Structure 1
Amino acid sequence: MKPFSSGSLLRVLLMLRTVEIMVGLLALVCIALSSGMVDGGRSIQPLETEDIQVEKKLKLLNNPFVKSIQSEDGDVIDCVDIYKQPAFDHPLLKNHTIKVSPSFVPTNGDTSASSIMNSSLPFSQVWHKSGSCPNGTIPIRRILRQHLLNASSLERYGKKPMNIITKCDFHILDYTFALGIQHYHSTAALIASGFSYTGAKADINVWNPPVEADDEYTTGQMTLTSGPFNNSDTIEVGWMVNPSVYGDRRTRLFIYWTNDSGKSSGCFDLLCPGFVQVNKDVLLGGAIEPTSSYYGQQYVIPLEVVKDFEQDVWWLITRNETDTLTIGYWPCDMFISMYHIAEMLMWGGDVYSPRMHTGRHTATAMGSGHFSSEHWSMASYIKQPRMRDYSMTYKYPYPSSPFTLEVDCYSAENYAEVLFTEPLFYYGGPGRNLYCP
Structure 2
Amino acid sequence: MKGGKTIRVTLLSYLFIITNGNDLRSIKERENTSHIFSYQQANNTIQMEDGDAYDCIDMDLQPAFNHPLLKDHKIQMEPSSFPARLDIKSGLQHTFSEVQPCIVPCPIGTVPILRNSRRNQIVAHNIEEVISEGTQQEMAGIRYYWDDIYGTRATISIHEPRVKKNNKDDSASWIQINRGPQVGLADGIGVGSAVSLSSSGDSFTRFYVGWQLGALNETCENHKCPGFVQVNHNVGLGGRIRPVSIYNGPQYVINVLIFKDPKTKNWWVAYGENNTPIGYWPSSLFTYLKERGHRAYWGGYVQGPTASLDSPQMGSGHFASEGYKKAAFMKNIQIVDENNKLVTPNNNKAHPGSSVLSKYTVDGYRVDNHGLHVYYGGPGDLV
Query: For residue 135 of structure 1, what is the aligned residue in structure 2?
Result: 108
Measured in 1, the distance between the counterparts of 2:226 and 2:357 equals 37
Q: Are the counterparts in 2 of residues 61 and 271 from structure 1 also a CA contact under 8 Å?
A: no
CA shift for structure 1 position 239: 0.2
Measured in 1, the distance between the counterparts of 2:382 and 2:197 equals 23
Q: Are the counterparts in 1 of residues 83 and 341 from structure 2 also a CA contact under 8 Å?
A: no
CA shift for structure 1 position 212: 1.2
Measured in 2, the distance between the counterparts of 1:109 and 1:208 equals 28
Q: Does 1:206 align with 2:158?
A: yes
CA shift for structure 1 position 88: 0.9
Query: For residue 120 of structure 1, what is the aligned residue in structure 2?
Result: 96
Q: Are the counterparts in 1 of residues 321 and 364 from structure 2 also a CA contact under 8 Å?
A: no
Q: Does 1:95 align with 2:72?
A: yes
Q: Does 1:427 align with 2:376?
A: yes
Query: For residue 404 of structure 1, what is the aligned residue in structure 2?
Result: 354
**1:155-195 alpha-carbon deviations (Å, 9 max, x no partner):** x9x9987134xxxxxxxxxxxxxxxxx95110112122121
Report 1:280-319 matches (<5 A).
280-319=233-272
Q: TM-score if structure 1 supplies the norm length?
A: 0.72
Measured in 2, the distance between the counterparts of 1:148 and 1:406 equals 36
Q: Does 1:243 align with 2:197?
A: yes
Query: For residue 81 of structure 2, what is the aligned residue in structure 1?
Result: 104
CA shift for structure 1 position 259: 1.1
Report 1:143-182 matches (<5 A).
143=116, 162-164=131-133
CA shift for structure 1 position 132: 0.5
Q: Does 1:79 align with 2:31?
A: no
Report 1:266-415 matches (<5 A).
266-319=219-272, 323-357=274-308, 361-399=309-347, 400-415=350-365
For the residue of structure 1 that corresponds to 2:60, the secondary structure is helix
Label 1:352 to 1:192 Cα distance change in 2 as closer, same or farther (>3 A): same
CA shift for structure 1 position 107: 4.8
Larger-gyration structure (1/2): 1
Q: Are the counterparts in 1 of residues 135 and 306 from structure 2 also a CA contact under 8 Å?
A: no
Percent identical among aligned pairs is: 32
Q: TM-score if structure 2 supplies the norm length?
A: 0.81
Measured in 2, the distance between the counterparts of 1:87 and 1:308 equals 19
**1:25-75 alpha-carbon deviations (Å, 9 max, x no partner):** xxxxxxxxxxxxxxxxxxxxxxxxxxxx9xx99x75757211211111111
Instruction: Indicate the structure with greater helix content.
Output: 1
| Greater Cα offset, 188-197 or 62-71 | 62-71
Q: 2:210 aligns with which of 233, 251, 256?
A: 256
Label 1:74 to 1:295 Cα distance change in 2 as closer, same or farther (>3 A): same
Label 1:260 to 1:115 Cα distance change in 2 as closer, same or farther (>3 A): closer
- Quick one: which amino acid aligns to residue 325 of structure 2? S
Label 1:420 to 1:319 Cα distance change in 2 as closer, same or farther (>3 A): closer
Query: For residue 184 of structure 2, what is the aligned residue in structure 1?
Result: 230
**1:372-394 alpha-carbon deviations (Å, 9 max, x no partner):** 11111100000100012213221
Label 1:236 to 1:105 Cα distance change in 2 as closer, same or farther (>3 A): closer
**1:204-259 alpha-carbon deviations (Å, 9 max, x no partner):** 11100100143111000001011111211111210010011111111000011011
Label 1:61 to 1:415 Cα distance change in 2 as closer, same or farther (>3 A): farther
Measured in 2, the distance between the counterparts of 1:190 and 1:96 equals 35
Q: Are the counterparts in 2 of residues 63 and 85 from structure 1 also a CA contact under 8 Å?
A: no
**1:308-346 alpha-carbon deviations (Å, 9 max, x no partner):** 1311201111125xx321101001111111111111011
CA shift for structure 1 position 303: 0.9
Measured in 2, the distance between the counterparts of 1:209 and 1:160 equals 27
Query: For residue 47 of structure 1, what is the aligned residue in structure 2?
Result: none
Label 1:384 to 1:412 Cα distance change in 2 as closer, same or farther (>3 A): same
- Quick one: which amino acid aligns to residue 112 of structure 1? K
Q: CA RMSD, aligned part only?
A: 3.0
Number of aligned residues: 342
Measured in 2, the distance between the counterparts of 1:202 and 1:419 equals 14
Query: Could you say which structure has the greater relative contact order, defined with CA pairs below 8 angstroms and 6 or more residues apart?
Result: 2
For the residue of structure 2 that corresponds to 1:88, the secondary structure is helix
**1:81-126 alpha-carbon deviations (Å, 9 max, x no partner):** 0000001111121221110111113557444334625x22222345
- Quick one: which amino acid aligns to residue 390 of structure 1? E
Label 1:274 to 1:393 Cα distance change in 2 as closer, same or farther (>3 A): same
Measured in 1, the distance between the counterparts of 2:179 and 2:135 equals 19
- Quick one: which amino acid aligns to residue 284 of structure 1? L
Measured in 1, the distance between the counterparts of 2:129 and 2:316 equals 23
Q: Are the counterparts in 1 of residues 70 and 284 from structure 2 also a CA contact under 8 Å?
A: no
- Quick one: which amino acid aligns to residue 389 of structure 1? D
